[in-house]
Amino acid sequence: MTTETMEAPAVAVPTATPPHPLREFWGYFSANHGAVAGLVIIVAVVLVALLAPVIAPHDPNLTNTAIALQPPFWQAGGSISYPLGTDPIGRDILSRLIYGAQLSLLIGIAVVTLSIVIGTVLGLVAGFFRGLTEIFIMRLMDIVLTLPSLLLAIVIVAVLGPGLMNAMLAVALVILPHYVRLARAAVITETSKDYVMAARVSGAGTTRLMFKEVLPNCTAPLIVQASLGISTAILDAAALGFLGLGAQPPSPEWGTMLADAREFVLRAWWVVTFPGLAILVTVLAFNLLGDGLRDALDPKLKR
């Protein structure tokens, strides 16, 4: 309640030369070194993913048992043509990591898009219609939240069968409640504001109200949540892969690579170290970006 009463006058008072909102956003965002670093890493990962066929030194699925488990180039026995070493059946780890970037980005973006779309719609519906619809949707989300998310994801994958697609669906489902709650809360806050009242009085339909008036006003928290959500999605999908339920080999998904090579952990440290590092760095980058976005978009912190 308090925040709203404070915001209203802030909007009402026009500043002398209002800066373009994007420029203002960039000003805040670029001041945050972490966020910029995150953005740079993400851009790099995206480039790597897009250019994979060009920059990968080898075919990621090309097996050659003669060179199995070669260490990275700086260790004795390693060679520069396989800079990060090879896996148990002689595939180049670097090339697999490069192609794996495609998968991880795909997972992150697909999962988040899916759960944002479904979650927002459900949240908007719950927030607008209240009553039984709301109770039903929100109870369902409570149930999903009550069970350990990984457990639920595992069961869903067990039902659908292991595989990248199904793992993505499972992850999208278990992170859904966050978006539903966010959207609903935003709707409830927004609908009590004057402009919605005004629109309603002037006869705007519910659907129109939902998507034209309210939705644009709760995009900021959704964007932040999306960027953080990508990191959760990548992590969860990798965990499923690690348990043998995500993308199936020979797909170079990072979690799957880890699981596939786990038995060699005592003998060849590089087969588990690099895929894990790749996950860590990518997830970290998305988290940094998410943090930066939140700070830049959240009016409360701008003070």
Partner 1 sequence: MKKSALFAAICVPAFLAAAPLAAKTLVYCSEGSPENFYPGINTTGTSFDVNEHIYDNIVDFERGGTQVVPGLAEKWDISADGTVYTFHLRKNAKFHSNKNFKPTRNLNADDVLFMFERQWKEENPYFKVTSPNHSYFTDMGMPKLLKSVEKVDDYTVRVTLNQPEAPFLSNLAMQFAGVQSKEYADAMLKAGTPEKIDQEPIGSGPFYLVQYQKDAIVRFKAFPEYWGGKAKIDDLVFSITPDASVRWAKLQKGECHVMPYPNPADLEAMKKDPNVTVMEQPGLNVGYLAYQTTKKPFDDVRVRKAFNMAMNKKAIVDAVFLGSGIPAKNPIPPSMWSYNDSVKEDEYNPEAAKKLLAEAGYPNGLETDLWAMPVQRPYNPNARRIAELMQADLAKIGVKAEIKSFEWGEYRKRAQAGEHQMAQLGWTGDNGDPDNFLHTLLGCASAQSASGSNIAKWCYKPFDDLVTKAKVVTNQAERTKLYEEAQKIFKEQAPWFTVAHAVQLKPVRKEVVDFKLSPFGRHTFYGVDIKGK
Partner 2 sequence: MLRFIFTRVSLIIPTFIGITLLAFFLIRLVPGDPIETLAGERGIDPARHEQLRKEYGFDQPILVQYGIYLSRVLQGDLGKSMITQEPVLNEFSSLFPATIELALCAILFALIIGLPAGIIAAIRRNSIFDHGVMGVSLAGYSMPIFWWGLILILLFSVQFDLTPVSGRIDVLYYIEPITGFLLIDTLLSDEVDAFWSAVQHLILPTIVLGTVPLAVIARMTRSAMLEVLGEDYIRTAKAKGLSRFRIVALHALRNALIPVVTVIGLQIGVLFTGAILTETIFSWPGVGKWLIDAIFRRDYPVLQGGALLLGVVVMSVNLLVDLAYGLINPRIRHTR
Residues at the site binding partner 1, with contacts judged by CB under 8 A:
61-63, 65, 68, 88-90, 158, 161-162, 244, 248-250, 260, 262-268
> What does the longest C-alpha to C-alpha distance in the chain come to?
77
φ and ψ at residue 261, rounded to 5 degrees: -105, 5
Q: Would you mind telling me the total number of residues written for the chain in this entry?
A: 303
Could you give the 3-state DSSP secondary structure of residue 89?
coil
Convert 212-232 to b/e letters by CB count within 10 Å (16 or more is b): ebbbeebebbbebbbbbbbbb
Q: Which stretch binds partner 2 (CB under 8 A): 91-99, 111-119, 195-203, 282-290?
A: 282-290
Nearer to partner 2, 78 or 291 (CB): 291
Site string for partner 2, 242-271 (x = CB under 8 A): xx-----------x--x---x--xx--x--
On whether the CB atoms of residues 283 and 101 are closer than 8 A, the answer is no
| 86, β-bridge pairs | 92
Nearer to partner 2, 52 or 240 (CB): 240
CA dist 86 and 64 (Å) reads: 9
Nearest to 253 by CA among 269, 268, 234: 234
Contacting residue, 49, 89, 121, 140, with partner 2 by CB under 8 A: 140
Q: Interacting stretch for partner 2, rule CB under 8 A, among 44-52, 53-61, 122-130, 144-152? A: 144-152
Least CB distance to partner 2 at residue 69 (A)? 16
- The DSSP letter of residue 244 is T
Task: Summarize as ranges the residues that interact with partner 2 (CB under 8 A).
Answer: 1, 34, 139-140, 142-143, 145-151, 154-156, 158-159, 161, 231, 235, 238-239, 242-243, 255, 258, 262, 265-266, 269, 272-273, 275-276, 279-280, 283-284, 286-288, 291
